[in-house]
């Protein structure tokens, strides 16, 4: 079944040109992504499956095309303005690699969590690629069918693979991993190194399915690249020292960056700011996504953090209100930023806002 997305070849050429120039540091303005939903007659906006529920909530034996049917109406109802583009990614929750490696996956419409694989000691834990794992097969098949079904009309993204310590925490439990970092660091180092290798294999196999569309790559986050890209992360790093970050996370990030044309890092919460200088030192890390965290002021109230990122030559992606984007552009200049605007806008509103942002430069 084809798809009627309101986004033509001229739109793709415009978006690809802007993003390519942004990655190269040649775009004089910020990237601005604005979306809207225009439901077809007889369908309420709440019925659209454009962003959810997660694909993981569907039974594993439900045919892939029936799952994709649930998202197609939402995709067709979406409108894309500025530097936004049509995308869909198989949402199986953060760090689904833990499920690929044997952790039990628990799913609701709002969240995903994992039951550890065993209570055995960390020492000797064996993690291997299992091509027959049901969750891996499901993610792979949904990705393959989405590419076949929607072709070059939609950028099909990678699932949220997770970060090395995040995955390991799901396999062992957060508490066991925290004790393991102190009591058995050599075994933890062995496991995170193995996870890096496994992560790259999962990424590569999904990339091989996605690449033939020639629509670049996009992860769960609001970034797009003409080549290989990903939003790397380590939410677990909120709980560890810079010394532990340097030993157990940084090598993984460096290895993944080496395999990417454009790599980003998901800096989530105040507790990760202490790792920022190390992240900025990674030559092949192209940018930082700053998420202040629940209950914290919005991104435009963290100007010193944003300025620090830009002064080190890194790009920065943010989820902001229209006024937040204006504030950052006014105070720091918009160049090097990618703003995903949280407020839906009509075409007229989007065009007016884009003109305002250009004047803030």
User: CATH number, domain at 239?
Assistant: 3.20.20.210
Q: What is the pLDDT of residues 9-37, one digit of tens each?
A: 999 999 999 999 999 999 999 999 999 98
> Which residues touch 167 (CB under 8 Å, ≥6 apart)?
95, 97, 98, 101, 161, 195, 199
- CA–CA separation, 268 and 119 (whole Å): 29
DSSP code of residue 266: E
Share of the chain above pLDDT 70, in %: 95
What mean pLDDT is predicted for residues 321-333? 97
**Does residue 2 form part of some domain?**
no
CB 81 within 8 A of CB 41: no
Check residue 147 and give its pLDDT: 97
Residue 214 falls within a domain, yes or no? yes
Range of weakest confidence among 32-46, 65-79, 201-215, 303-317:
32-46
What are 94's two structure tokens?
Answer: 């953060």
Residue 111's pLDDT band (boundaries 50, 70, 90)? Answer: confident
Question: What pLDDT was estimated at residue 335?
Answer: 97
Asked if the bond preceding 53 is cis, omega within 30° of 0, the reply is yes
Ramachandran sector of residue 332 (left: φ over 0; alpha: ψ -120 to 50; beta: rest): alpha
Location of structure tokens 């439901």? 39
User: Tell me, what's the pLDDT at 44?
Assistant: 59
Range of the domain at 249: 9-360
Mean pLDDT (the chain, rounded): 93
Taking residues 163-170, report their average pLDDT: 96
If pLDDT is split at 50, 70 and 90, which confidence band does 96 have?
very high
Q: Which two tokens stand for residue 195?
A: 């996870």
Q: Residue range 84-112: average pLDDT?
A: 92
pLDDT at 161 over 70: yes
Q: pLDDT class for 110, splitting at 50, 70, 90?
A: confident
Please state the domain count of the chain: 1
Model pLDDT, residue 54? 83
What integer pLDDT is reported at residue 316 of this predicted model?
Answer: 98
Per-residue model confidence as pLDDT tens digits over 199-245? 999 999 999 999 999 999 999 999 999 999 999 999 999 999 999 99
Is 120 within the bounds of a domain? yes
In the prediction, which pLDDT does 42 show?
A: 65
Domain presence at residue 3: no
Average pLDDT of the residues in 75-79: 92
Torsion of CA 112, 118, 124, 129, to 10 degrees: -50
pTM metric for this prediction: 0.95
- Token pair, residue 58, equals 């569907």
Q: Which of 122-131, 160-169, 309-318 has the lowest mean pLDDT?
A: 122-131
Which phi-psi region, left, alpha or beta, contains residue 242 (left: φ > 0; alpha: ψ -120 to 50)? alpha
Per-residue model confidence (pLDDT) at position 43 = 64
- Residue 182 scores a pLDDT above 90: yes
pLDDT tens digit sequence for 249-303: 999 999 999 999 999 999 999 999 999 999 999 999 999 999 999 999 999 999 9
Q: Would you say residue 70 lies in a domain?
A: yes
* Cβ-contact 219, 231 below 8 angstroms: yes
Q: How confident is the model at residue 196 (pLDDT cuts 50, 70, 90)?
A: very high
For residue 1, tell me if it sits in a domain.
no
pLDDT digits (tens, 9 = 90+) for 126-158: 899 999 999 999 999 999 999 999 999 999 999
pLDDT at residue 213 in the model: 93
Whether the predicted pLDDT of 48 surpasses 70 = no
pLDDT confidence bin for 352, thresholds 50/70/90: very high
Model confidence band, residue 360 (pLDDT cutoffs 50, 70, 90): confident
pLDDT at 92: 94
């Amino acid at each position: 079944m084809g798809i009627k997305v309101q986004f033509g070849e001229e739109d793709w050429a415009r978006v690809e040109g802007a993003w390519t120039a942004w990655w190269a540091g040649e775009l004089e303005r910020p990237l601005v992504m604005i979306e809207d939903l225009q439901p077809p007659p007889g369908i309420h906006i709440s019925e659209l499956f454009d962003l959810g529920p997660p694909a993981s909530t569907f039974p594993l034996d439900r045919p892939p095309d029936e799952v994709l049917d649930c998202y197609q109406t939402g995709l067709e109802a979406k409108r894309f303005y500025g530097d936004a583009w049509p995308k869909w990614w198989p949402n199986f929750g953060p760090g689904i690699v833990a499920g690929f490696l044997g952790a039990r996956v628990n799913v609701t419409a709002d969240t995903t969590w994992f039951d550890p694989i065993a209570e055995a000691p960390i020492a000797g834990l064996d993690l291997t690629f299992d091509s027959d794992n049901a969750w891996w097969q499901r993610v792979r098949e949904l990705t393959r069918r989405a590419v076949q079904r929607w072709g070059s009309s939609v950028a099909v993204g990678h699932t949220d693979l997770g970060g090395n310590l995040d995955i390991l925490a799901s396999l062992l439990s957060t508490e066991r991993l925290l004790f393991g970092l102190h009591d058995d660091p050599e075994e933890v180092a062995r496991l995170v190194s193995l996870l890096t290798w496994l992560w790259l294999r999962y990424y590569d196999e999904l990339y091989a399915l996605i690449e033939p569309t020639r629509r670049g790559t996009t992860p769960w986050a609001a970034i797009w690249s003409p080549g290989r890209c990903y939003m790397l992360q380590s939410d677990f790093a909120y709980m560890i020292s810079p010394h532990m970050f340097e030993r157990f996370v940084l090598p993984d990030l460096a290895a993944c960056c080496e395999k990417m044309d454009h790599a980003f890092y998901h800096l989530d919460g105040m507790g990760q700011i202490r790792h920022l200088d190390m992240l900025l030192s990674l030559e092949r890390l192209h940018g930082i996504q700053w998420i202040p965290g629940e209950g914290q002021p919005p991104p435009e109230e963290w100007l010193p953090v944003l300025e620090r990122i830009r002064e080190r030559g890194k790009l920065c992606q943010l989820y902001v209100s229209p006024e937040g984007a204006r504030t950052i552009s006014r105070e720091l200049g918009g160049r090097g930023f990618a703003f995903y605007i949280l407020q839906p806008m009509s075409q007229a509103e989007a065009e007016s806002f884009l003109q305002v942002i250009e004047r803030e430069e």
